Amino acid sequence: MRFIVLCLLFSGFAHAAETYVNGQLHRDFNREVFTSTVEVWSGDKLGSTFFFADFDFASAGETQSYFEISRHFELTRIKKIGHLNASVQFNDGVTPADGFGGKLIPRTFLAGLALTELKTGNATFELQALARQEYASDLGWQLTGVWFVPISKSPFEFLGYVDWNSNEYGDQPVSVQAEPQFQYRWKQVAVGTEVEVSRNFAGAYTEDDGYETGKWYVHPTLYLRYDL
The helix/strand/coil state of 205 is coil
pLDDT at site 1: 37
DSSP 41-96: EEE-SSEEEEEEEEEEEETTEEEEEEEEEEEEEEEEEETTTEEEEEEEEEEEEE-T
Angle at 204 between CA 190 and CA 177, to 5 degrees: 65
Where residue 30 falls among pLDDT bands split at 50, 70, 90?
Answer: very high
pLDDT digits (tens, 9 = 90+) for 106-147: 899 999 999 999 999 999 999 999 999 998 889 999 999 999
Where residue 9 falls among pLDDT bands split at 50, 70, 90?
Answer: very low
Q: Which amino acid is at 40?
A: V
pLDDT at site 95: 82
> What is the rounded average pLDDT for all residues in the chain?
89
Report d(CA 59, CA 17) in Å as an integer: 38
pLDDT at site 170: 63
pLDDT digits (tens, 9 = 90+) for 57-116: 988 888 899 999 999 999 999 988 999 999 999 999 988 777 666 677 889 999 999 999
Question: H-helix or E-strand containing 98?
Answer: helix 98-101
pLDDT of residue 166 exceeding 90 = yes
4-227 in CATH: which number?
2.40.160.40
